[in-house]
Homo-oligomer: A and B are copies of this chain.
Amino acid sequence: MSKDTDNSNLTADNSANTTSSPSNDRSANNVAPNEVTFALAQSHFLVGDISANADKMRQLAIQARDQGADVIVFPELALLGYPPQDLLLRPSLSGRIKSALSALSDIQDIVMIVGYPHVDHHGTFNSAAILHNGHQKGFYHKQFLPNYGVFDERRYFDKGRNQVLFDYKGITIGLLICEDLWEKSPIADLKQQGVDIIVSLNASPFETGKQDMRKTMLTQRSREHKVPIVYVNAVGGQDDLVFDGGSIVAQADGSIAHEAPRFLDQLMLATLNVDSNTFNTQEKAPLTLSRESEMYQALVVGLRDYVNHSGFGGVLVGLSGGIDSALTLCIAVDALGADKVYAVMMPYEFTSKISLEDAQAQARRLNVSYTVCPIFDAVEGIRHTLAPLFNKSPADTTEENIQARARGVILMALSNKFGHLVITTGNKSELAVGYSTLYGDMAGGFDVLKDVYKSQVYNLASYRNRLEDTPVIPERVITRPPSAELRPDQKDQDSLPDYEVLDGILTLYIDEDMGYQAIVDKGFDADMVAKTIKMVDNSEYKRRQSPIGTKISQRAFGRERRYPLVNKWSINS
C-alpha cells in the first residue's frame, strides 16, 4: 500500500457558481501509486452533539489511517447527526459547525470526507467537506432534497447546483449525497466530467427490504456508468428511525465487492486498484438477513438507542399473557439485557388463568423481574368515584377503558417512582383501527410494535422462538385466539375482521395508499373495506397522541403519514 501525503495531489474546485472540473494532472510529480484505500465509517453519530461527533470522527480517522486508509468517508450530515429537524434553524449552528470542522484540521495524512450542514450567505446546504492535512479542500452540496415520506429536507436546505470532483493519487473522485444517487442525472453528470469513482454519503433509514433496493440501485448505477461506487450508510436509532448500515462498495461492473454488516458500527476498508479501477474483494460478505431477521434487529436497535440515549436505566412493560407483550418483552431483553427489563402483570376480573401462567412463563424464560399487581382496588376506586355520575347506566366500552386506564396509571406511577421507561405493546393493526385505549394500553414512551402488523407479530414471535432450543414464548401464546380480556370471553375478532384479512386491507390502504375502490377490486369484501377505512380515519386523533415507535415499513404512522384530524374525505364521493 503506498501513501502519498503531498497536498498537490489533492485538487478540488467547487466555486459556488461554476461546475468544477478535476485536474487532469494525474500525479505527474510523484511515483504513481497503484492503490487507494477507502475507509467507510459506518458509525452512529448523535443528533445535536456536534463536538462529540467531531471527536468520534477524529478517532475513526486516526484508526483508519493507522490501518492504512487514504480516504475516510463519513455518513450524510454525520457531524450534526440525522435527522436534526429544527436544530438546523438554530442561529448558533453555523459557529458550532465551523469550530468542529476546525477541530478536525489537525488530523494528518488521511483525506476526510465529512457530512455536515453548510451555512453561508448563499443559504443552508446538506453538504460534504473534503478535509486534508488541515485544509478544507472543497465542499459539495446535495442537489436532490427529499421532501416526502419521513423527509423534510426542503424545510431546511437549499438545493446544491454544482458537481464536485477532486483528484487524489491519480484518480478522480466525485461526491454525491444520498438522494442524488437515486436520481439518474447526478452520476451521469459526474461521469461526463470524467469521474473514476463515486463516493456517496448516506443516512438511509431502514425499511423492510430496503437493503435489496439499495443493492439493486447501486448495481444499476455502477454498471450503467462503468464506475465503482463507495456507499456509506449511517447506523443506529434516532427516535422512530433506525439506520441499518449495510454500507456497500460496488465495482464498475455492478458487482458488490464489499458489504458491511447491518445494524452494527463498522469501520470497513476497501482498496481500489488504481490501474484497473477495481476493488480488491478479499473480505467475506456478511450473511444476507431474512425479512424477519432484519425487522427484528431494527426493532431491537430502535428501542435500545432510544432508551440509552434518553438516559433511562431500564424499561417497564405490562405483560398481558398475549403475544404482543410477549414479543415486546423479547425485544426489550435483546435490546437492553434482562437486568434492565421489568415486567408487570396487572390482572383483573377478566384475566384468564392461562394469561397469568403464560405471562409468568415468559418472564421466567427470559429471566426478567416479574411482578403481579392486581388492579381490583384501582378499578373499584375509580368506579366508585364515578358511580354517582353514571347513575346505574349499563356497562359499555367505558368500563373496558377504565380497566385499561387503571393499568396505564399503575405503570406510569411505577415509572415515576423508579425511573424506568414504560414501553407499550400496541401493534400497527390495533393502532390503525383504534383498537386500543388512549392513556390506557397506549400510555408510555415508546411503542415497540407500532409499525408491526399483527400478522407480522406472529411471524416475528415464531422467528424469535426458532433462535433458541427452548422457545422463549410459550407456544400457547402464539396459537390461542387474541383477546384484550376486558370483558368475559372477549376475542379481538368480535370487533375486528380476521387479522389476515384486516392486515391485507390495512397494508393496501396505509402502506400502498390505495383507495376504497382499488382495494375492493383486489377482492376484499366491500363492506369490510369501507368499515376498515372508516375505523382508520376515525382513529387519527388517537394516533396523534401515541408514543413513537420504530419504523420498519414503507409507510409508518407518525411523520411519514400526515393526515388531518378533521377530514371529510369519504370513500365514495
**Which residues of A approach B to under 8 Å, CB–CB?**
46-52, 81, 83-87, 89-92, 96, 147-148, 152, 154-155, 238-239, 305-306, 309-310, 371, 373-382, 384-386, 388-390, 393, 396-398, 401-402, 405-406, 408-410, 412-414, 416-417, 438-439, 443, 445, 513-515, 517-518, 541, 544-548, 561-570, 573
Contact of A438 with B412 at beta-carbon distance under 8 Å, contacts A50-B573, A385-B378, A545-B546 already known: yes
In Å, the complex CA distance between A410 and B568 comes to: 30
For the complex of A and B, the 9 pairs showing the least CB-CB separation, nearest first, are A381-B381, A48-B569, A49-B568, A398-B416, A48-B568, A439-B439, A378-B385, A377-B384, A309-B566
Q: Which residues of B contact A386 (CB under 8 A)?
A: 373, 410, 413-414
Contact of A416 with B443 at beta-carbon distance under 8 Å, contacts A154-B147, A564-B83, A567-B87 already known: no
Q: Is the CB of B90 within 8 A of A515?
A: yes
Q: Is the CB of B398 within 8 A of A564?
A: no
Q: A48-B564, A389-B414, A406-B409 are in contact. List 16 more A-B contacts (CB 8 A).
A: A47-B569, A49-B573, A85-B563, A86-B562, A86-B563, A90-B569, A154-B154, A309-B566, A371-B389, A377-B384, A377-B385, A378-B378, A390-B417, A409-B409, A439-B439, A545-B547
Q: Is the CB of A567 within 8 A of B48?
A: yes
Contact of A381 among B87, B378, B439, B514 (CB under 8 A): B378
Q: Which residues of B contact A568 (CB under 8 A)?
A: 46-49, 52, 81, 309
Contact of A382 among B374, B409, B518 (CB under 8 A): B409
Q: Which residues of B contact A389 (CB under 8 A)?
A: 371, 373, 414
Q: Which residues of B contact A402 (CB under 8 A)?
A: 409, 413
In Å, the complex CA distance between A87 and B569 comes to: 8
Q: Is the CB of A561 within 8 A of B86?
A: yes
- Minimal beta-carbon separation of A248 from chain B (angstroms): 27
In Å, the complex CA distance between A113 and B527 comes to: 38
Q: Which residues of B contact A380 (CB under 8 A)?
A: 381
Contact of A439 with B445 at beta-carbon distance under 8 Å, contacts A373-B388, A382-B406 already known: no
Contact of A566 with B305 at beta-carbon distance under 8 Å, contacts A518-B91, A546-B545 already known: yes
Q: Which residues of B contact A438 (CB under 8 A)?
A: 412, 443
Q: Which residues of B contact A96 (CB under 8 A)?
A: 573
In Å, the complex CA distance between A402 and B410 comes to: 9
- Minimal beta-carbon separation of A549 from chain B (angstroms): 12
In Å, the complex CA distance between A561 and B51 comes to: 24
Q: Is the CB of A87 within 8 A of B414?
A: no
In Å, the complex CA distance between A487 and B87 comes to: 37
For A387, the closest partner residue in chain B by CB is: B377
Q: Which residues of B contact A84 (CB under 8 A)?
A: 564
Q: Which residues of B contact A397 (CB under 8 A)?
A: 416
- Minimal beta-carbon separation of A309 from chain B (angstroms): 4
Q: Is the CB of A413 within 8 A of B371?
A: no
Contact of A564 with B239 at beta-carbon distance under 8 Å, contacts A398-B416, A402-B413, A513-B90 already known: yes
Contact of A310 among B51, B371, B401, B566 (CB under 8 A): B566
In Å, the complex CA distance between A148 and B155 comes to: 5
For A48, the closest partner residue in chain B by CB is: B569
